[in-house]
Each structure stands twice: as structure tokens, then as C-alpha cells.
Amino acid sequence: MHFTKPAWVIHKDSAKTDSNPKRLSIFSVHVHPDGSRIATGGLDAKVRIWSTKPILNPASETSGKPPKSLCTLSMHTGPVLTVRWAHSGRWLASGSDDEIVMIWDLDPNARGRVWGSDEVNVEGWKPLKRLPGHESDVTDVAWSPGDRYLASVGLDSAVMIWCGFTLERLHKIDQHQGFVKGVCWDPVGEFLATQSDDRSVKIWRTTDWGMEAEVRKPFEDSPGSTFFRRLSWSPDGAHITASNATNNKGFVFIAAVITRNSWTSEISLVGHENTIEVACYNPHIFLRNPTAPVATANICSVVALGADDRSVSVWQTKSARPLIVAKEVFDRQIMDLSWSWDGLTLYAASSDGTIGVFNFDSEELEGIAPHSVQEQYLAKFGFKAPPVRDGYSHLSTSMPATNQGPHSDFNTNAGEEKINVLVAKKSNKNKKRLKMSSIPSASIPATIPSASTDGLSSAKAPQTIPIHDFVRNPPSRITTSSFPSPAEQPFESSYARGDWDMDMNLDMESAPISSADASISRAPRGSKARDEGKVFARNLGSDVQRSVGVVKRISSGAVGTSWEHQEGCGLDVPPVMTYLHCKVDGTTDDVLEVWNYENGASTRITFTSGKETQWLDYVPSSVLFAIATNVFCAVAMQDGSVNVYSPNGRRLLPTLNLGSPASFMDANKHCLLVVTSNAQLYSWNIKKQTANFPPVSLRPILSTSNTRLTGALTRSDGVPMLSCSNTVVYTYDLSLHCFTKLADRWWSDGSEVWQRQQRPAASSGSNYVGPVAFVEGYCNGPPMDDSAGNAGDDRSTKPQWWSEALTLGHLETRMYAARTLDSPKEYEQALVAYARKIAEEGFRWKAEELIKELMGPLYWRSGKDDGWVPTVAGVSKRNLLKEVLSIFVRSRTLAELGLIWKDVLERAETEE
């Protein structure tokens, strides 16, 4: 899974004219059914439409094609609280603080500069119709299946039902006793559900708009302070997941799952630490067993939750635990969620003014089924919708598929774009015909693409750690719910298991892998290089059709040389698989693929973008690992050699011969790491074409009996992270020419700052989580027992000063790890905790030594060669000293020392 936060998606304060405008809250986000654009509504009273391709494809973002911002709509006079595309993709509905629901339609003549600003609309949208009627803020709107109806709810406690064809009001429901903050439709079309601050979810029949049921129990103690109570109906029609529910008299925040027909809530989704604002189901049905027939017992769903604790969780209903939990991806609460029609991309909006995008691979969302399965399954309910109002229907013209898929280019030239026309037509030929054909409307694809079901799966060996930028260049405040113990999964926490790509500050100096220059036309398959004077660009292997790779193990006797791991090293060679593939970091459709053949034929390597082959190569030995970044691709072969390719298939380095095959392989931006089966560690900087350090033997860390290497990662600066089965994480220190420990479970037996229960939060109370917390999370697990010579948590059997010694030793190790892994935030947190412990215990000599280390020469000047470095982990030592002294001056035993050195520091800085 890849995660990104496009900084250019912004609702800004128009009053701020500086280069760094203030971000205003985004209250709603929704994806167009063809996936080509999203709409957002914000505090600036505007609806903004953005292209999704620059969000999902870094190459598109860099090139500016298509444009990022498509349109700004400014007819509302209050904050826009909700935006929702019609299922047909033709219209956009928005609800606002100004009490109005607005319906928007595409207008080819409305492009140009936005009135009163310097913004330019590259596509035009116009207000088709205002829907007045609410007497207060409109908080949510929803289109029914087939767009037969539009429902709107608001702070006037009313539920309005509008005709989806004529847009006239059909019915008003006013039985709620509090603000109504959420609405959703049954996918069958039989019911409508609304959720209100009166602490109830009410279900309404669409046949007569009477109330079918009222659910109150999960909401009896729910707070009334949330912006929204957005609920969602599962695509199989079986459940409603409602937000802002609680257990244990309001002390546990949950999402309540309400069962159809019985309308009871016996299932809760527990884990968020604050009220849940929004629930949103993936539009696809999922099969528990994809090989079994479609039946009720074989169906499950995927639902995403967004909460006031600034986190997003994704659940698959067949599992008791979430698929992922992204904690504090935002700085403020989550306001809205929206899944793309293909079910692989989740958009989240926050009141901090940003959106986050979670892009999944089809293999990660196991069992995803085409939309046709949902249609067949819903037919079993036997519900017959009321006939369409006399004489009215949706008619769409026959048109070519202009927007094929969620990443298609949207044609912003309105004069060339094929447009479907909505016609409201009386069936009686003798009566006057009402036409809306003069009003242009949004285009829809001829076929809405369903999720990929090609069945491609990774053939990585069990020891391989998937690429995830979190442990390499961690963004601030991103955590997961828990870390598995080593026995559950070696160094592959839920970050790795979900293939998270959390690096929000991508290294843009490195050119992303892309196809040939867009200015050169591609040669059609089988055509000549020159056709009527036009020059076509060709790719090596452009006529090779991309096929579905079948993953199967190849016996060692069927291919080349068979290697055995060296005695005592604990490193195995992974099995040779018929097919391997790796998606390129930061892209959606660029894939490096490998085909190994059982008949001994030469192994083929291809690089594809979408369905088109960009380049290929053949190698004489079977490939064990394939890996790709936006800078290079690399393959490790069974004969002990490694090939490194550029984005266009050129060999960046000569073939590297390592003497034995790879046991582990990892890449990060321009750094490549390989661990061979004879326990040699290699690391290269591909951009500079140099080694980060000479080959190093891993025997020093594998010499202990039964110790095995369980994972190997590299950071972008070449620093390795090596996890072992003895629950220790090592690195190789280039300045010390020695392996050192980054984290060790030993500290868990006595350190007061060790994070238990597998929750890698920072010791200083902050919610920031970085690489140090990650490696300590790997070392977490059950308390150490007597078999290891320890006595669990029975401190009465511990030696004197046990806890104090382990706490200080642990914090000193943590500071070293933060410095090595270049994590200034974690270094500062560990230093503060260290200073507090020294002050608490009154260790004056340790305190004075720490002060002198941070202070350095009293009258130090830049450029003076005295061996003292003024920074540590990129942070000024003297700035850190000020924080340390502020702790010491509040200590009963160290106050005098703190005041003396505080005065010394002030005088030194003044004189300098």
C-alpha cells in the first residue's frame, strides 16, 4: 500500500496573499465514479475539483499533465460541508452552511479565470439547480442506487428527499429530535438510514418513507460534540456501520455495526481513542474464499473509519483486527472518507486542511470481487423499486469509453470531450416534451472498471522485507495499532505487511521511472519506425504482451547451481519461483517483473507501465529477488550476481559478482543492500556508483547459537538495519567499523521507559513515532521469564539499582540509535527523558558530564578546529542544553547546578 498527502490540494484563506497561504478545513471529499477526479468542500465556501492522476502518479504530478486543479466552484455563501457525485458521474451535489443544496453540471463554456481571484478553471462547471428547503446547515447528502433519489440532512433536524431526475422535493422527514449529521442508502434500494445527535439511527422505508426501525443502544452515551455522524451501508446490504457510538457507559469509542432486518447492534469495531466521525464501506463485495461460490457465508466487506483521534483504520469484516491503522496521519480530526469505484484507493479529508490517499494493491485487499457479483447477490433480496415517475428516465447517449479506469487522463478540452446528455422525457408523444439536452453534464465511462483480479502475487522469500518508506525516512506522527512479536512475524510489522509507503517528503531530485518523453509518439505495434514523416519512439520489447504470472516453486535441480547456506551462519537461499514482481515506489502502474522457466530457458526481466512493456532483458541465471525504486531497479540471481538497471533499462553498474546468492535484499531511493548466504553484507549508493562501506561479515552478530538473521533494511543514507531472532536490531557503524545495537529486548526487563503492550509510543509523552520506535516495537513481546535468568516483573528479586541502571542504559542506547538513524525528534525525546531520570535520582556527576558535553567550549566559534561538533542528530547541542537545564533547575537536588550553568550559557552566548 502507498500513502501520499498531496500538498497542492488546498482550500486556502483568500485574505492571505503571501506565498504560504493558510490552510482552511476540508470537510468533505468524494471520488468521481470513473476515478479521474475528486471533489472537496471546505471552510472557504468553495467546492474544488482536482485531477487524481497527479495524486496517484508522481510522473504526472511532475509533468503537470493533466492539470492538478480542474475547477473552483464558488456559488455557496457558507462553508461547504458535503460533496457527493451521482453514481452516473453526471452531476455533483454539495451541501453548505448556507442552508442550500446545490447541483452542479459540466459547462464547456465556463472555463477561464475564477472571478475575484487569480485561479483558472481548466474545465467549467455551472450550478444546475439550487435546492432550498433546509432551515440550517446541510451536513450530508447521498444519492440513492441508480440516482433515483437524493437525500439531504441538516442541523434543522430534517431529512429531505429529492427526485433524482427532476430535482424537485418529494418528501420531508422531521421525526429526529436533534441535529441530523449523516445519511446513507441501502444498496438494495429498500431503505434509507440517518444518524442524529438525538443519539439514534433511524431506518426509513423508501416505499412510503415511514420509519422501519430505530436503533439507540450503542449511542446512549455518545458525545454530541462531533461535526458529523457519517454512517455507511455495506455493499452486500447486510450491515450499517454507524459512527460516534460507545461502550462501557461512554468510556470506549466504537463504530457500531447494525444488522439488517433485526436492526440490532451486537458487533463493535473497537480501537480508536476518540469519537469516530465517519464510516465508509468499500464499494466491492469481498469473498472469504475466492474459489468458493458466492453465498452469504462466503461474503465479507471492507470498511474504513475516521476519528477525532486523527487516525484512519481499515477493517475487513472477516477479521477481528483491522487491516491497517494509520495513527495521526493528520494534525486534526478526520472529517470524511471516500473509496474509489475500483475499491483500491481510499481518500481521507481532515479539518487540518489536507487530504490523505491510501492506494492498495489488489493482493492486499484479499478476495475483492467484481461489481457484477454484487449485482447478482443483491438480486436475492427480491426488492422491487417503485416505478419511475411517469414519463421520466435517465437516458445516456452511446459513446466511446473516454475515461477508462481510475488513472485515465481527463480531457480538459471541453470542445473535444464526449459528453453524455441527461434528458427528462415524457413518454406520451402528444404531451409537451421537457428537454435538458442543452445543459452539458459530466461524462461517464462506457464501462466502469472493476478491481483487478489478475491474481498476481509476490514471490518473495519468507525472509524478505517489503519496501516501506516509514522505517527509512519516517514522517511525523504516523503509527500503527500494534507491532507483532518476533514469533509472529520477523521484523515485518503491520507496516511491512501492508506495504506502506509513508514517505511524505519524497526525494524529488531523483527522476521517477517513466516511459519515453511524452513529446515523442509511440509507434503502434507492428508499424514502421517512420510513417508519413512522423517519428515514433520504440521500446525494447514493446511488442511483448503483458501476461499473468503463475507463481510456482521450481525445484533446485531444474535450474543452474544449487547453493546451501554456510554452516553456522543461519542464512538460507530462498527458493526459485516461476514469477516475481515488484511495483515501483511512488507509482501506480509501473511494475518490474521476472519470469523464471522450469525448462532451463533464459530468465526474462520486463518493466511495464500499465499494459505496455517499457524494456526487457534476459539473464543467464534464475532470479531470486527483484526490487525497484523511483531511481533504479535491481535483480539478484541464483549464481550470486546482481544486475542494476536505470528507469529506462540501461545497466547503471557492471554485473556485481558476490560469490554466493542473496539471502536478503532491500532498496531505498538510491541505496541498495544485499546480504548473501555466506553472511556478507553489501551496501551501494547507485546514484554515486560507489559502495557505502566495504563488504562486512555478519558472523559477529550470528555467532551466538541458534541466532538467525530475520530481516534486513536500508535507509536512504545507506545505514543498514538488521533484525535477529534473539530480538536485537543491529546496525553497522561506519565510524566505529563495528556492529552496534539499535534496540535490544534486554531493556524490557527493567527499563521504566520501555513501551509495553507492543505500543511504540515515544517516552516523552508525544505521539511521534519514528525509526527508533519501530525497531523497539520489533523487540517487544511477552515479559522475559525465569528461563532466561530473569524474574519477570517481580522487582523484589532484582538486584539493587536494577531499574535505575536499565532505564539509564536504555535511554543512552536510544539516543545513540536516534543519532545513527538520523531521527532528531526521537533524539530530543530520549534526551529529555534521560535528563528527567537523572534529575529524579539526583545523579549530580552524570548531570554535570551531560551539561559539559552539550555546552562544549565556553567561547566556541564556527570554523574553530577544536574537535567539538555543535550539533547532534542535526539539532543544536546548546538548544538541547537549554531544555536540559530547564529540567535540572526544577529538581530539588540539581537546581543549584542548573542555575549556575544556565547563567554560564547565557553569558557565553551574549559574548559570542
Q: Half-sphere exposure (CA, 13 Å, Cβ side) for 272?
A: 34
Environment class of 622 (CB within 10 Å of its CB; exposed 0-12, middle 13-18, buried 19+): buried
The pLDDT of residue 125 is: 86
| Dihedral sign, Cα of residue 11, residue 76, residue 357, residue 361 | negative
* Cβ partners under 8 Å of residue 362, min gap 6: 344, 368, 451, 452, 453, 454, 456
What's the confidence (pLDDT) of residue 584? 86
Distance CA 42, CA 26 (A): 4
| Residue 3: closest CA among 311, 371, 271 | 311
In whole angstroms, give the CA distance from residue 709 to residue 706. 10
For the record, the C-alpha cell of 680 comes out as 556478507
Q: What backbone phi and psi angles, to 5 degrees, belong to 699?
A: -55, -35
Q: 700-721 burial, b if ≥16 CB within 10 A, otherwise e?
A: ebbeeeebbbbbbbbbbbbbbb
| H-run or E-run covering 314 | strand 312-316
Element (H, E) at 817: helix 802-820
Nearest to 374 by CA among 499, 247, 268, 282: 282
Residues linked to residue 281 through DSSP beta bridges, in sequence order:
303
Q: Dihedral, CA atoms, 163, 164, 167, 170, nearest 10 degrees?
A: 10
Burial class (CB in 10 A: 0-12, 13-18, 19+), 312: buried
Task: Collect contacts of 847-855 with beta carbons under 8 A, ≥24 apart.
Answer: 847/888, 847/894, 847/897, 848/897, 850/884, 851/881, 851/884, 851/885, 851/888, 851/897, 851/901, 853/877, 854/878, 854/880, 854/881, 854/884, 855/881, 855/901, 855/904, 855/905, 855/908
Contact by Cβ (8 Å): 616, 592: no
In this structure, are residues 722 and 712 in contact, taking their beta carbons and an 8 Å threshold? yes
Q: What is the pLDDT of residue 556?
A: 54
What's the confidence (pLDDT) of residue 503? 31
Mean pLDDT per segment of 10 residues, for the chain of length 912 residues?
Answer: 91 70 91 93 93 89 85 91 93 94 83 58 86 94 94 95 92 93 95 94 94 93 85 95 89 92 91 93 92 87 93 90 88 94 95 93 88 89 74 41 37 35 38 34 33 33 31 33 35 31 30 34 42 55 62 57 47 89 82 86 88 89 93 94 92 93 93 94 94 93 82 92 91 92 89 64 47 84 45 62 90 93 92 93 91 81 66 90 92 89 85 64
Q: Which residue carries 553569558 as its cell?
A: 907
pLDDT of residue 602: 84
DSSP character for 510?
Answer: S
